[in-house]
Amino acid sequence: MSGITVHLPRSGGGAEGTHCGDPVTLRLLPGEVARFGRGSATTPVELRLDDEAVSRLAGEIRVTDDHWQLTNHSVTQSYLVENPEGAGEYVRVSPRRAGAPIPFEFSRVVLPTRRGTTVAFQVFASDHVYLDPDSMTGHWGSRTVTAYSLDETALYFLVLVALCEPRLRDESPVAVPTTPQIVERLRGHAACGGTLTARAVSSHIDYLAEEKVRISAPAEIGSGGARRNGKREALVGIALRFGLVREEHLVLLPSRTTTRVLDLRTGR
């Protein structure tokens, strides 16, 4: 496991799952710790959750070699770690629980508030490790790892398929869908629940590029938008060249007869 990425979105008005400051993204390597809570001058935290029901030091995340752990410092409140892609799957971390191991590849840490809503942040873990089939037959040696470990049931894979769709359908030799086009294309999918946002799509693309396929945008490209587009181009190129996304994966997308698809050339 090469580490995790933690993302705390921004809220303009205290919306569920966010906070009222700037968005925060942390990259943690094995052995590193990030603390979360309301914070104070004497209790600094890396992830500030602005709600009076959240403790000054609510908890902490610790990364190990092969998973990450959550410690709950509250004496009264349980926290939930949800698997957004697991059909309601979650882990409840009880008060004062130390080092609870979290098994999900993509997680949403949720804390209760007094307003009937929640505050939350996301954790993207690196590849899960699987047994080498050769080791099961007694041929021991160095472990073989998968170059590109993708979960085809995950939402990030659905985003990748939507990115690759135009080239798989031979509709455009150059253009890659934009974030609004991906949101529109996946709007009718049951896994998205009609709540997929542009920020979530961008997070999934960054996760794919940085953790799953391990690429970066070309250094010579200057503007932020161009860098992001370069990352998408590289991601689609690798996915298609190595067969990570194939024509048969198109069935994972919503029917095009019920989803309005934007034309990549006109944007309409």
Q: Nearest to residue 103, comparing CAs of 1, 24, 205?
A: 1
Angle at 174 between CA 170 and CA 180, to 5 degrees: 90
Q: Nearest to residue 117, comparing CAs of 8, 38, 13, 44?
A: 13
Ranges under pLDDT 70 in the chain: 1-2, 10-21, 86-87, 116, 127-147, 171-174, 193, 216-228, 257-268
Q: How far is CA 77 from the centre of its chain?
A: 25
| The model's pTM | 0.59
Q: Where are the domains of the chain?
A: 4-125, 155-252
Confidence (pLDDT) at 143: 56
Confidence (pLDDT) at 186: 92
Confidence (pLDDT) at 191: 77
CATH level 2 (architecture), domain 4-125: Sandwich (2.60)
> To the nearest 10°, the Cα dihedral for 183, 186, 187, 192?
-100
What is the rounded CA–CA span in Å between residue 165 and residue 9? 28
In this predicted model, what pLDDT tens digit does every residue of 199-212 receive, in sequence order? Answer: 889 888 988 988 88
In this predicted model, what pLDDT tens digit does every residue of 195-251 receive, in sequence order? Answer: 788 888 988 898 898 888 887 555 444 445 555 678 899 999 889 888 899 989 999
What is the rounded CA–CA span in Å between residue 135 and residue 239? 28
Confidence (pLDDT) at 98: 95
Confidence (pLDDT) at 85: 73
* DSSP states along the chain: ---EEEEE-B-SS--TT-BSS--EEEEE-TT-EEEEES--SSS--SEE---TTS-TT-EEEEE-SS-EEEEE--SS--EEEE-TTSTT-EEEE-TT---EEE--SEEEEEEE-TTS-EEEEEEEE-PPP---GGGGGT--SSPP--SS---TTSHHHHHHHHHHHHHHTTS-SS----HHHHHHHHTT-TTTTT---HHHHHHHHHHIIIIIS-----TT--SHHHHHHHHHHHHHHHHHHTTSS-GGGGGGSPPTTTS----TTT--
Confidence (pLDDT) at 79: 94
The DSSP letter of residue 128 is P
Confidence (pLDDT) at 241: 84
Measured N-to-C along each axis, helices 155-168 and 198-207 cross at an angle, to the nearest 10 degrees, of 90
Confidence (pLDDT) at 48: 93
